[in-house]
Amino acid sequence: MDEIHIQQIEGFELGHAQSTEGGTGCTVILSKSGAVAGVDVRGGAPGTRETDLLKSENLVQEVHGVFLSGGSAYGLSVGQGVMNVLEQEGAGFNVEVAKVPIVPGAILFDLAVGASNIRPGEEMGEQAALNALGHHFFESGNYGAGTGASVGKILGFEKAMKGGLGHFAVQVGELKVGAVIAVNSFGDIIDPTSGERLAGAYNREKKQFLYTESILLNNLNDSHANRFSENTTIGTIITNASMTKAEANKLASMAHDGLAVTMKPSHTFVDGDTLFTMSTNEKKVDLNTLGYLFTYVVERAVINAVQSAESAYGLLSYKELQLR
């Protein structure tokens, strides 16, 4: 198994757009020729667009793009901007009188950083799509949907740390699998290989992690312990593996294991954790092996997100923590 850059997975274009002032942005993954797709929504506070289309029993079999956006529910309008660009490219589901680009997506909450009145919208969605088609280098850290992301918010922003946008991809023979994850979790971030706590609720004066799990256990009867009610980690796994729509949905479900092993806790009532699958449907492989790889790239993309992030908006980053 070899690590590759995610832009080496053919059939997809990836791009970001963001506002540093606003502390927000969006990320898009395009497949102009169409990709078999699935989705799994685990968190208790999701914000999504067109995920019902991806149910196995429904008509549409392919999507032409997926977007990940900040801005809370306002960010759902990013999808229209992506549709505009794809329509100009001639991509979409043929309904005889027009081609309708199918662009599902999900949002996270970042309105509490930067300027809350600056939000991703149609124009930012168009810019991200154009950046993708222009093959701009796909960055990680404070980019796109990860621009204003944060983690470990059980005690509010004073104790939270900086999240971000991460990606990771591997190649095994001709098979390629990669994940793009915007990490904006309620919980802390753990490297499951080393057991190291990378980011989360943190006491700057004492220079120590506060352990979100311990805070929850010590406030078992306090409904206000999780008062910061808008978080959410969202992402997309892309691959050239062959699969049906039903299999894509199941694989999206399996990929959530990558969140479960890196976030303590994950999939809470105050997260809207959502993962999409997109496949060019080319290489026949064992689905159990593929499920493992989906989990693995999600896990490593989460770690890449927090390790690539820079301190911003008063949020301490993993990078800065290593210099102290």
Q: Which of 217, 223, 234, 220 is nearest to 271 (CA)?
A: 234
Cβ atoms within 10 Å of 58's Cβ, excluding its own = 10
Cα–Cα distance measured from residue 215 to residue 220, given in angstroms and rounded to the nearest whole number: 9
pLDDT for 81-90, tens place per residue? 999 999 999 9
Helices (H), the chain: 78-88, 122-133, 212-218, 245-255, 257-260, 287-308, 318-323
Bridge partners for 48 per DSSP? 106
Confidence of residue 224 (pLDDT cuts 50, 70, 90): low
* Arithmetic mean of pLDDT over the chain: 93
CB 84 within 8 A of CB 126: yes
Tell me how far apart the alpha carbons of residues 297 and 256 are, in angstroms, rounded to a whole number: 11
Q: From its phi and psi, is residue 27 left (phi > 0), alpha (psi between -120 and 50) or beta?
A: beta
d(CA 171, CA 239): 10
Q: Which domains does the chain have, with CATH numbers?
A: 2-323 (3.60.70.12)
**Which amino acid would we find at residue 305?**
A
- Could you read off the pLDDT of 241-251 as tens digits, one per residue? 999 999 999 99
pLDDT tens digits along 46-71: 899 999 999 999 888 899 999 999 99
Closest CA to 296 of 169, 194, 162, 117: 169
Look-up: residue for tokens 């802390």? 188
Is 153:228 a contact under the CB 8 Å cutoff?
Answer: yes
DSSP 206-228: TTEE--HHHHHHHTTT-GGGG--
- DSSP sequence for 65-94: EEEEE-SGGGGGGHHHHHHHHHHHTT-SEE
Q: Which residues contact 203 (CB under 8 A, 6 or more apart)?
A: 159, 209, 210
Confidence band, pLDDT 50/70/90 cuts, at residue 27: very high
pLDDT band at 222 (very low <50, low <70, confident <90, very high): low
Q: How confident is the model at residue 215 (pLDDT cuts 50, 70, 90)?
A: confident
Task: Please list, in sequence order, all residues whose beta carbon lies within 8 angstroms of the beta carbon of residue 77, skipping any fewer than 6 positions away.
Answer: 120, 121, 122, 125
Secondary structure of residue 312 in the 3-state scheme: strand
Average pLDDT over residues 183-210: 94
Average pLDDT over residues 279-296: 97
Q: Is the pLDDT of residue 230 over 70?
A: no
pLDDT digits (tens, 9 = 90+) for 87-119: 999 998 888 898 999 999 999 999 999 999 999
Angle at CA of residue 238, ends 250 and 40, nearest 5°? 30
Q: Identify residue 149 by its one-letter amino acid code.
A: A
- Please provide the distance, in angstroms rounded to a whole number, between the alpha carbons at the two ends of the chain: 35
